[in-house]
Structure 1
Amino acid sequence: MSSDPWGRVDETGTVYVRTADGEKVVGSWQAGSPEEALAYFKRKYEGLVVEIGLLEKRVQTTDLSAKDALASIDHLREQVDAHHAVGDLDALRVRLDNLVGMVEARREKRRAQRARQAEEARRAKEALVAEAEELAQSDQWRAAGERLRALVETWKGLPRLDRRSDDELWHRFSHARSAFSKRRKAHFAQLDAQREEARRIKERLVAEAEALSDSTDWGPTAARYRELMAEWKAAGRAQREHEEDLWNRFRGAQDVFFAARSAVFAERDAEQAENLKLKEELAEEAEKLLPITDLKAARAAFRSINERWEAIGHVPREARARIEGRLHAVERAIQEAEEAEWRRTNPEARARAADLADQLQAAVDKLKGQIEQARAQSNTAKAGKLEKELEGRQALLDQALKGLREFGG
């Protein structure tokens, strides 16, 4: 008979293993000495040790699923419980029990992680819905439309929630987008209708202006032209493709009438000379409004000057361009100030300027990083090429930032 601390072989060749529950039969050995029998079954035990060790490593270092891990543990436990090896089988059972605990802990951790991710996705989608519902009431059609499209792309990148929650949030999100689209469509339809109405009004004004162009009833006709001009301004703008043509016809008809009147009044040089003197005084008064510091006050003052100017009448033909040019220069300055004020307060233009500045800044930052990387790699040729590109981008960025500062940003 032969034995060691974990097993023995009796005189019949039966091999036993010692466990906490007593000796268990491992098998029968008739092919050699008892020492060879113990060595054989010890090697089987060592094989189990290796397999358990490998499984422990996979559980600790890979993304092995809990289902597969537990199946492997059960398979190894069956081999240990079969008692076909000589060694500390109780220690192997303890290691397998510990592995079960490790797998369960990791499964619980993953479950908690999935729950946390689901909650984060829920909060993210609720935030998208809240922003979309707020944007649905916006009148910044371009900026809000672009932002809603960006929100859709963000939504697509988020994981799905449970079906009911995801459907409810998507319904609110989709409803907000639809509401915005309907409001935008209605707005531009109304705008188109207004421009179409302006076109019809201006066509009527043009027809009347052209009908009056050959009138010789100088006073009343001139007064009516002034009324037509006021109606023209009150009508608003027609569609871009019609506005300029209508204006040229309207202004041309007036020019025909006033040219004819000027020819008739050629003998009234003295009156026209006096008119010139009065208009020069008004031009001086208008020029004192420059530079424009108070747009509202300048506009009101110029309106008064212009009304008095129109009331004065014609000046000698050779002086007309010069004197009107002086007033028009002030008028253009006021218009430019109005346009500058509009550009400065136009949120859509400011948003576009800010977006351009952000894009150029990102490009500059990226180039700087590439230059540093090239220098770090001692690639002077690439660094030089990137520096030239950086100069161009930086110049564009400086221009964009200058434009943004004009918006007060």
Structure 2
Amino acid sequence: MSSDPWGRVDETGTVYVRTAEGEKVVGSWQAGTPEEALAYFERKYEGLVVEIGLLEKRVKTTDLSAKDAQTAIEHIRTQIDEHHAVGDLAALSARLDKLVESVDSRREERKAQKAKQTDEARAAKEALVTEAEELARSEQWRSAGERLRALVDTWKGLPRLDRKSDDELWHRFSHARSAFSKRRKAHFAQLDAQREDARKAKERLVAEAEALQNSTDWGATAARYRELMADWKAAGRAQREHEDDLWNRFRGAQDVFFAARSGVFAERDAEQTENLKLKEELAGEAEKLLPVTDLKAARAAFRAVNERWEAIGHVPRDARPKVEGRMHAVERAIQEAEEAEWRRTNPEARARAAGLTGQLQDAVDKLRGQIEAARAAGNDAKADKLSKELEGRQALLDQALKGLEEFGG
């Protein structure tokens, strides 16, 4: 028979461990000497000591969850309670008890921290909702739209609240965005309607201009053409695809009339030569407006130059294409700047791009959540497979975000 302070082996090979409740059977040893038996079970004890030490370190220095820590503690405690080791088992149990207290303390700390984060997230989301509802009443279509998109990104970066609270706040947030989008859509729909009204008005002006082009009533017809030109300017711009064609017909009809009148009043050639000089100076003045950096200022300046241009009268026929071409080039550049501004504020195209971006962002967020869940469950194979899918979705999202930037969003 062999023994040490914490255990012994009797003559039958049965190994015992000493506890406060008396001796407990550890196991039976028939493969060698009693000393070897005690050494074997003492090593198992040392293994438990090492395992507890490692767990203590993990609880203290890592983000091991309370649930996982508790599972590990119960696993070790079962081994201690089953008395399959020789050593001071009571000391190990005491260390486990302290470890349980530490885990419980950390659980409460994390619970308090989570509650604090939830309160902060709630306050942040309520602030976002309040700002969104204020923006919903704005008529600064571009800046307000950009700010609302930024608020969506901020919202996505905040933690979720309880489902009821989160859904209620999101409903208000989403309703504010929808209200703004409807108002903006109505605004631009009104602009479209105005352009359509301008097209119809200019078609009527073109029809009358073409009907007058062969008139020989020089004074009255010229006066009427001036009135038609005033009406043309007052009508506003039609859709781009119609504007140039209508203008060419309108201007062409006037050209026919005024060319005929020029033939009759050849004596006015000297006056027209002076007109050419003045218009060349105005064309040079207009060309200084390019490139367009301030659209509103350029448009106003060109309008002022053009009014002086129209007041000058005609120039020699052979010189007209060149000098008018210079003015038309400036006008086209300003029109192109206007169209570029329109495209940047086009709500439907931006909405489609934003919708696609939102769908892809939701898919990326969902995949990330699935990957985290798979990792937490220890299913690395599934997590790796989802990670590859996430790479593809992320690439599509990056491409969609780049496209959205073209709208200034």
- Where structure 1 has 5 or more consecutive residues not aligned to the other structure, the ranges are 350-409
Q: In 2, Cα distance between the equivalents of 1:12 and 1:278?
A: 134
Deviations 1:280-314 (A, max 9, x none): 5634764785874896996587456435413xxx5
Tell whether the 8 Å contact from 1:26 to 1:84 is kept in structure 2 after alignment.
no
Structure 1 residue identity aligned to 2:219: G
Cα separation, 2, equivalents of 1:306 and 1:166: 62
Post-superposition shift, 1:76?
Answer: 4.1
8 Å Cα contact 1:279/1:323 also seen in 2: no
Distance 2:110 2:18 in 1: 39
Choose the corresponding residue for 1:54, options 51, 55, 67.
51
Question: What is residue 167 of structure 1 aligned with on the other side?
Answer: 167
Supply the distance in 2 between the matched residues of 1:197 and 1:68 (Cα, whole angstroms).
71
Aligned partners of 2:282 and 2:309 also within 8 Å: no
Partner of 2:384: none
Superposed counterparts of 1:244-393, under 5 Å: 244-263=244-263, 265=264, 268-270=265-267, 272-276=268-272, 278-279=274-275, 282-283=278-279, 286=282, 289=285, 292=288, 302=305, 305-310=308-313, 319-322=316-319, 325-326=322-323, 329=326, 331=327, 335=331, 348=344
Partner of 2:382: none
Normalising by the residue count of structure 2, what TM-score does the alignment of the two structures yield?
0.62
Residue type of the alignment partner of 1:51? L
Q: Secondary structure at the match of 2:160?
A: coil
Secondary structure at 1:161's aligned position in 2?
Answer: coil
Contact 1:77–1:96 under 8 Å retained in 2:
yes
Structure 1 distance, partners of 2:306, 2:219, is 22
Deviations for 1:229-279, whole angstroms, at most 9, x for unmatched residues?
11001101112232222222222222232233334x2xx433x13423542
What CA distance in whole angstroms lies between the structure 2 residues aligned with 1:153 and 1:290? Answer: 44
- Counterpart of 1:177 in structure 2 is 177
Residues 41 and 84 of structure 1 are in contact (CA less than 8 Å); yes or no, is this contact kept in structure 2? no
Identity, in percent, stands at 59
2:23 is aligned, of 22, 25, 28, to 25
SS in 2 for 1:195: helix
What TM-score, normalized to structure 1?
A: 0.62
| Residues in 1 aligned to 2:68 and 2:180: alpha-carbon distance in whole angstroms | 51
**Cα pair distance change 1:140/1:321, threshold 3 Å:** farther
Contact 2:17–2:24 (Cα < 8 Å) also in 1: yes
Decide whether the 8 Å contact of 1:140 with 1:348 is kept in 2.
no
Classify the secondary structure of the residue corresponding to 1:219: helix
When residues 320 and 80 of structure 1 are mapped into structure 2, their CA distance, relative to the original with a 3 A threshold, is: closer
SS of residue in 2 equivalent to 1:215? coil
* SS at 1:26 equivalent: strand
2-side partners of 1:51 and 1:127: how far apart? 53
Larger radius of gyration: 1
- What SS class does the counterpart of residue 50 from structure 2 fall into? helix
Residues 154 and 59 (structure 1 numbering): CA distance in 2 closer, same or farther, change over 3 Å?
farther
Paired residues for 1:224-243 under 5 Å:
224-243=224-243
Does the C-alpha gap of structure 1 residues 120 and 49 become closer, same or farther in structure 2, counting only changes over 3 Å?
A: farther
Query: Could you say which residue in structure 2 is the equivalent of 1:66?
Result: 66
- For residues 7-57 of structure 1, give each alpha carbon's deviation from its aligned partner in whole angstroms, at most 9, with x where no partner exists: 5689999987555x5x6132499999xx93x86466435424413532542
Q: Which residue of 2 aligns with 1:223?
A: 223
Q: Which moved more, 1:107-116 or 1:139-148?
A: 139-148
1:203 is paired with a residue whose SS is helix
Deviates more, 1:127-136 or 1:159-168: 127-136
Asked whether the equivalents of residues 210 and 253 of structure 1 are also in contact (C-alpha less than 8 Å), the reply is: yes
Letter in 2 for 1:224: R
Contact 1:14–1:25 under 8 Å retained in 2: no
Displacement, 1:222? 0.7
Using the TM superposition, give the Cα deviation of residue 215 of structure 1 relative to its aligned residue in structure 2, in angstroms.
2.4
Structure 1 distance, partners of 2:80, 2:328, is 98
Shift of 1:228: 0.3
**Alignment partner, residue 213 of structure 2:** 213
1:119 and 1:166, CA in 2 relative to 1: closer, same or farther beyond 3 A?
A: same
Q: What secondary structure is seen at the aligned counterpart in 2 of 1:242?
A: helix
Is the contact between residue 59 and residue 69 of structure 1 (CA under 8 Å) also seen in structure 2? Answer: no
